[in-house]
Amino acid sequence: MLAMQQRLPSLLAHPIAFAHRGGKAHAPENTIAAFTLGLKLGATGLESDVWVTSDGVPVLDHDGFVRHRLSKRRITEMRRSQLPSFIPTLAELIEQCGSQFHLSLDLKGDNSGLPVLNVVRDVAPQLLPRLWLCHPVWQTLLPLRAHLDGAKLVDSTRLTRIKEGPERRAASLAHEGIHALNMHHTDWNGGLVSLVHRFGLCAIAWDLQYEHVLRPILRMGIDGVHSDWVDRMIDAYRAELGAPLL
């Protein structure tokens, strides 16, 4: 019988359990109902994509389109008042769910970072140190560095896209003030997590849907996990780390 892998240390005292799109396995994704249920099931973080409407309102939706009969319209070309009510604004999320959680937002469209930061700063500034702003082209995040007030910047990518190698990427991210590297769970191993930690970066993994996948990656010292199945994620978390805490 093989011995259980020894747990490696995380950079964060309490790794984050993100409900992906609010926990899309349990309720319609990116809705207030999904976000509320994700937190009720024990998630310590919520995840969504964020778009900014033509009148400057950050809203939470995955595809960035609204279907109308046989056509689709881009959210970025519509005013907030033209969107269906099930698409929440970022402010509505905070008003309905509070601010006692981490919030990971994939920045979509052009120049969505500053409107997001402004809303959080106005509605719940105490959330800023637990706000994680993600983009697949990390250089796009650099103009936000002067406006963070504690918010975090995240390079969301895949290992195959890091042509310069993970060590050089980690060094570049640390030098430029990026706080975390977010990759698919299959891209991570214990050595790579430790490498990222050596540069002071958090290691975050996504698409963790089953206990047999969640538990080994939690033992790698990962700092955050994303799952559609919040109940499975929390069960695995408790088994490996104890009760999730902020």
pLDDT of residue 4 exceeding 90, the answer is no
Average pLDDT of the residues in 40-62: 98
Rounded to two decimals, the pTM is 0.96
Q: What is the pLDDT of residue 6?
A: 82
For residue 224, the cross-strand partners are: 16, 204
Per-residue pLDDT tens digits for 90-144: 999 999 999 999 999 999 988 999 999 999 999 999 999 999 999 999 999 999 9
d(CA 209, CA 169): 27
Per-residue pLDDT tens digits for 196-224: 999 999 999 999 999 999 999 999 999 99
Q: What is the pLDDT of residue 2?
A: 39
**Coarse DSSP helix, strand, coil percentages of the chain, rounded to the nearest 5 percent:** 40, 20, 40
Per-residue pLDDT tens digits for 13-39: 999 999 999 989 999 999 999 999 999
Q: What is the pLDDT of residue 212?
A: 97
Residue 158: CB partners within 8 Å, gap ≥ 6? 183, 184, 187
For residue 157, the cross-strand partners are: none
pLDDT of residue 41 exceeding 80, the answer is yes
Per-residue pLDDT tens digits for 125-135: 999 999 999 99
pLDDT of residue 1 exceeding 70, the answer is no
Average pLDDT of the residues in 56-74: 92
d(CA 207, CA 39): 18
In the Cβ-directed half-sphere of 70, how many Cα atoms lie within 13 Å?
0
Average pLDDT of the residues in 170-178: 98
Which CATH code, of 2.60.40.60, 1.10.3720.10, 3.40.710.10, 3.20.20.190, is assigned to 157-246?
Answer: 3.20.20.190
For residue 5, what pLDDT band results from cuts at 50, 70 and 90?
low
What are phi and psi for residue 215, nearest 5 degrees? -65, -45
Kindly list the domain boundaries of the chain, sorted by start residue. 46-149, 157-246
Fold of 46-149: TIM Barrel (3.20.20)
Q: Average per-residue pLDDT in the chain? A: 96
pLDDT of residue 68 exceeding 80, the answer is no
Q: What is the pLDDT of residue 3?
A: 45
d(CA 176, CA 141): 10
What Rg value do the Cα atoms of the chain yield, rounded? Answer: 18
| CA distances, 161 to each of 110, 169, 187 (Å) | 22, 11, 11
Q: What is the pLDDT of residue 71?
A: 86
Domains 46-149 and 157-246 share a fold: yes
Q: 154 and 104 in contact (C-beta within 8 Å)?
A: yes
